[in-house]
């Protein structure tokens, strides 16, 4: 399985699988679509969950964008 996503730097990243280490390489934050992909949540569902405050990790709303702290995603992955 190959995971490809665009991090907050605009650089497309490819990894063999989403692991805590590959997620950490995204930087401090990532977009909601990438966070959803890491957590096996579709893009539309990720936005829906973010809008209702039900996304599995903390989501920051900055203007019209949803930003997800990478540390929160890593913590969730390590707990599972």
Give the 3-state secondary structure of residue 80.
coil
CA separation for the pair 32, 44 (Å, rounded): 10
> Which pLDDT score, from 0 to 100, does residue 78 have?
87
Q: What is the pLDDT of residues 36-76, one digit of tens each?
A: 999 999 999 999 999 999 999 999 999 999 999 999 999 99
Length of the chain: 80
> Which pLDDT score, from 0 to 100, does residue 17 have?
84
CA separation for the pair 13, 56 (Å, rounded): 23
Mean pLDDT of 8-26: 72
- Residue 7 — very low, low, confident or very high, per pLDDT cuts 50/70/90? low
- Residue 3 — very low, low, confident or very high, per pLDDT cuts 50/70/90? low
């Amino acid at each position: 399985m190959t995971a490809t996503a665009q991090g907050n730097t605009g650089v497309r990243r490819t990894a063999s699988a989403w692991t805590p280490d590959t997620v950490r390489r995204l930087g401090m934050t990532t977009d909601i679509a990438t966070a959803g992909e890491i957590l096996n949540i579709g893009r539309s569902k990720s936005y829906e969950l973010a809008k209702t405050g039900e996304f599995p990790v903390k989501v920051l709303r900055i203007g019209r964008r949803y930003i997800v702290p990478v540390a929160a995603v890593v913590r969730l992955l390590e707990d599972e």
